[in-house]
Chains A and B, each alone.
Chain A
Amino acid sequence: MEETTILEALKRRFPKGVVDASAPLGDATIVIRKDALLEIIPFLKEKPYEFAMLLDLTCVDYPERAERFEMVYHLFSLAANRRLRIKLSVPEDAAVVDSLVRFWKNADWLEREVFDMFGVRFAGHPDLRRLFMNDGFVGHPLRKDYPLRKRQPMIPLRK
């Protein structure tokens, strides 16, 4: 099957970086180590795989895990009409991931959203500010330990 060949190839090419490769429910998925991201992404973007599109970039909070956050990237290859999901774990005390803005422009706002909602920082991002919340916002609202009814400091109003 095509899925297995790309997964096999990735495993063979990055024996240290790729922790796991499988195709649950038919979706090719690789779990990689955080520091291998900048090696694997250019490799996938070039021929023969040509994953030219970053469909989505998001984060999941698993409070019970040792490495609390999990980044999820969805890539799409227009040439081969094929998708690939990449996952990597991020610990809370060193919540920094390499930015993908230099590969895809749309990663800019997606990474700003993840920073706003989860507090994961992106090394090499040109303008890492909050995207949705106002600038005086305290905390990161999509973390599971954010209290539902927490009051935020009011934005100062002009007198």
Chain B
Amino acid sequence: MSDRIERPPFVLAKLDQLITWSQKNSLWPFGSGLACCAIEMIATAAARYDIARFGMELFRASPRQADLFIVAGTVTNKMAPIIRRLWEQMADPKWVVAMGNCAVSGGPFPTYAVLQGVDRILPVDIHIAGCPPTPQGLLNGLLLLQERIAKSHPTKEIFNPDARR
């Protein structure tokens, strides 16, 4: 494919920029605090680390009102279908952050009860390692996610509904 077709038309590129700019600066996280990592997520939302600086202060209690799924903690096999279902209930466009070693790979629990990584059931955008990751770690991951959103092309779906941003 030639470069000309690859690149979006000028108007759409500008529209992309506008959409991604507004998306990345008003992420609505759904905090699913499943284990100890939730404490660090809460600390990140509190005054000292202040996630509000990045436009994400409104942690929603319902997945239907959120577009960023922060999986903070251990996902057990029994919890896995519920996590998947919560993700399905979120409206598109949506992103997933796997916070902590547990959500990334099962972490310190290579056992019969724990799902070995939430990416087995969800499309994870950002993995954040650490047990638990510090609030700085979480913020760094979220900044990476913002960069990623800024590089995405939401208008692609106009021509190709199957395209993932």
Contacts and interface: CB of A to CB of B under 8 A. Distances in A.
A47 interface: no
Would you list the 9 A-B pairs with minimal beta carbon distance, nearest first?
Answer: A141-B112, A134-B78, A155-B81, A157-B84, A134-B77, A149-B110, A155-B80, A157-B121, A157-B81
Interface string B102-113: 000000001111
Interface string A129-144: 0001110010001000
B69 to A, nearest CB: 15
Contacts of A134: 77-78
Interface residues on A, range: 10 to 19
A62 B112 CA distance: 20
Contacts, number: 33
A132 B121 contact: no
Contacts of B84: 157-158
A137 B111 CA distance: 13
Interface of A: 132-134, 137, 141, 146, 148-150, 152, 154-158
B77 A155 contact: yes
A141 B120 CA distance: 22
B53 interface: no
A13 to B, nearest CB: 43
A148 B111 contact: yes
B85 interface: yes
Given A132-B113, A137-B77, A148-B111, 10 more contacts: A133-B77, A141-B111, A141-B112, A146-B112, A154-B80, A155-B81, A156-B81, A157-B80, A157-B121, A158-B84
Contacts of B85: 158
Contacts of A155: 77, 80-81
A158 B111 CA distance: 25
Nearest to A140: B112
Contacts of A149: 110
A151 to B, nearest CB: 8
Contact of B110 (A137, A141, A148): A148
Contacts of B80: 154-155, 157
Interface in B21-78: 77-78
Contacts of B113: 132-133, 141
Nearest to A153: B77
Contacts of B147: none
B157 interface: no
A107 to B, nearest CB: 23
A141 B88 CA distance: 31
B114 to A, nearest CB: 11
Contacts of B121: 157
